[in-house]
């Protein structure tokens, strides 16, 4: 087995295993799947140029592409600039059990290792 295949197979443990979080994913067609993902939702980061704290929400999910494809969702997540069309939606709870609904701001597939990382933005009307 080559290293790429081995790395993708190990995503079931590293990306969807012990430290994963349940996420409900809904595609623009209304198909829904419960996936295990790596998630993040922080409100403070550090500017690497100045070392100063920067306030602002930054949320993301990292998903296994093979799990997306086998879940029945229509394709890979992507941003939707046309506000008249349904976006991809991601719903997950914070550590205290409060659910938040996000849409895709930026989608970054890594087809070499089989990981889809999405930078998210909070959906105002949830």
Q: Per CATH, the architecture of 3-122 is what? A: Beta Barrel (2.40)
Q: Round to whole Å and give the CA distance between 120 and 85.
A: 17
CB atoms within 10 A of CB 9: 12
Tens-digit pLDDT profile for residues 28-87: 999 999 999 999 998 877 888 898 887 778 899 999 999 999 999 999 999 988 888 899
* CB distance 35 to 67 below 8 Å: yes
Q: Round to whole Å and give the CA distance between 71 and 12.
A: 14
Global confidence as pTM: 0.87
Q: What local confidence, expressed as pLDDT, does residue 64 receive?
A: 96
* CB distance 53 to 69 below 8 Å: no
């Amino acid at each position: 087995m080559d290293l790429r295949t081995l790395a993708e197979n190990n995503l079931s443990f590293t990306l969807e295993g012990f430290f994963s979080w349940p996420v409900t994913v809904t595609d623009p067609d209304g198909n829904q799947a419960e996936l295990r993902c790596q998630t993040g939702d922080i409100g403070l980061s550090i500017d690497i140029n100045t070392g100063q704290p920067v306030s602002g929400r930054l949320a993301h999910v990292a998903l296994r592409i093979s799990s997306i494809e086998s879940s029945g969702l229509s394709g890979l997540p992507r941003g939707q600039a046309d506000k008249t069309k349904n976006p991809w939606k991601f719903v997950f709870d914070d550590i205290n059990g409060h659910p938040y609904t996000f849409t895709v701001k930026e989608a970054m597939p890594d087809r070499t290792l089989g990981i889809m990382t999405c930078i998210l933005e909070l959906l105002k009307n949830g």
